Structure formats: structure tokens, C-alpha cells
């Protein structure tokens, strides 16, 4: 083997190993989370049949119902990495089990939907039990997205019943 070929195969081995370790790390980190909560995101359309009123009013009035559009129109000026930072607030469940991944894979979660406030709905749509959702919402449930920095910048505080239905 030439010196070059050796270093190339060494590099391939390193990449192979780190990819494998990465995979192991990924499953060790993420499996317990999956196991601990079987709740996953189902998307706002899954709520329509039982909550027609809230669904209609959300779709008609809430800016969240088209929050993906807001980031899409700004995509041109952003790198892919910068664009992905928008997903945390403008989509449903990004970075969480069963949450938004991409428009292709999870089109039903591309906007910030019912579940950004009420929590993942998979158990509730089966059980119809309110206790399978987040109960007693408070301003704390809004702060991950409507954070202090943003509230100060826009000089606006979310009202607890605002932006819902």
C-alpha cells in the first residue's frame, strides 16, 4: 500500500468508527426518552373531528396555523443551518420524539399546531382523556418560544388565551 492509500483507509476507518459510536451514542441517549413517554405528535388535523370549533377558529385566526410560511419566505437569505434554527418555534415538536423533521417526512407538523401548547396528542386521541395532555396551561408553557428576549424586542407579551382559539 502506498503512504497515501494507507492514510485514506485509516481515515475511512476513523469515519466508520465514529459513525458507529455516534449511532450507539444516539440510541443510548434517545431510547430512554422514547421508552419513558409513549406520547408523540399527531398534528392539528387529528384534532378536528372531535374539536371542530377550536380547530376552525385556530385555522382561521391563529398566526401559528401558517407559521411555516413565515420562515419559508425568509429562507433565501439564510444558510441551511440558520434555517433549521427556525424550526424550534415555527414547527411542532422539532427535536422531540415524534416531532417535526422535514416538510417531506412530517408535513402534518410543519406549522406550530395545537400540540405546541397542549403537548403531544397521540395518547389523548385514543383515550379522549384530557389528563393525557398537558393540563392547566400557564405562561410558562409559552416561554420556550415567546421568550424574554423576543418579548422585549417586540414589546409584546403573549396573553395566556391569545393565539389559540
| Interatomic CA distance for residues 101 and 139, integer angstroms | 26
Q: Are 87 and 65 in contact (CB under 8 A)?
A: no
Number of residues lying near ligand HEC (CB under 6 A): 55
With respect to ligand HEC, which residue has the nearer C-beta, 16 or 130? 130
| Interatomic CA distance for residues 25 and 40, integer angstroms | 22
Q: Are 79 and 103 in contact (CB under 8 A)?
A: no
Contact letters for ligand HEC, residues 69-98 (x by CB under 6 A) = -xx--x---x---x--xx-xxx--------
- C-alpha cell of 153? 424586542
Binding segment (CB under 6 A) for ligand HEC, from list 16-24, 27-35, 102-110, 155-163: 155-163
CA of 71: how far to CAs of 63, 86, 140, 147, in Å? 12, 7, 24, 18
Q: Which of 54, 96, 97, 108 binds ligand HEC (CB under 6 A)?
A: 54
Binding site for ligand HEC (CB under 6 A): 42, 44, 46-47, 49-51, 54-55, 58, 61-64, 67, 70-71, 74, 78, 82, 85-86, 88-90, 112, 114-118, 121, 124-125, 128, 130, 133, 136-137, 141-142, 144-147, 150, 154, 156, 158, 160-165
Amino acid at each position: 500500500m502506498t503512504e497515501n492509500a494507507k492514510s485514506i483507509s485509516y481515515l475511512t476507518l476513523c469515519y466508520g468508527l465514529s459513525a458507529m459510536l455516534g449511532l450507539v451514542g444516539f440510541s443510548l441517549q434517545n431510547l430512554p426518552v422514547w421508552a419513558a413517554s409513549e406520547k408523540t405528535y399527531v398534528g392539528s388535523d387529528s384534532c378536528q373531528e372531535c374539536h371542530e370549533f377550536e380547530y376552525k377558529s385556530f385555522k382561521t385566526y391563529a398566526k401559528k396555523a401558517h407559521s411555516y410560511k413565515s420562515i419559508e419566505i425568509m429562507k433565501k437569505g439564510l444558510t441551511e443551518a440558520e434555517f433549521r434554527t427556525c424550526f424550534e418555534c415555527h414547527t411542532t415538536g422539532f427535536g422531540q420524539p415524534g416531532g417535526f423533521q422535514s416538510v417531506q417526512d412530517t408535513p402534518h407538523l410543519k406549522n406550530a399546531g395545537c400540540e405546541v401548547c397542549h403537548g403531544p396528542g397521540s395518547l389523548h386521541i385514543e383515550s379522549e382523556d384530557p389528563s393525557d395532555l398537558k393540563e392547566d396551561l400557564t405562561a410558562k408553557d409559552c416561554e420556550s418560544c415567546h421568550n424574554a428576549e423576543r418579548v422585549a424586542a417586540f414589546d409584546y407579551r403573549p396573553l395566556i388565551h391569545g393565539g389559540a382559539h
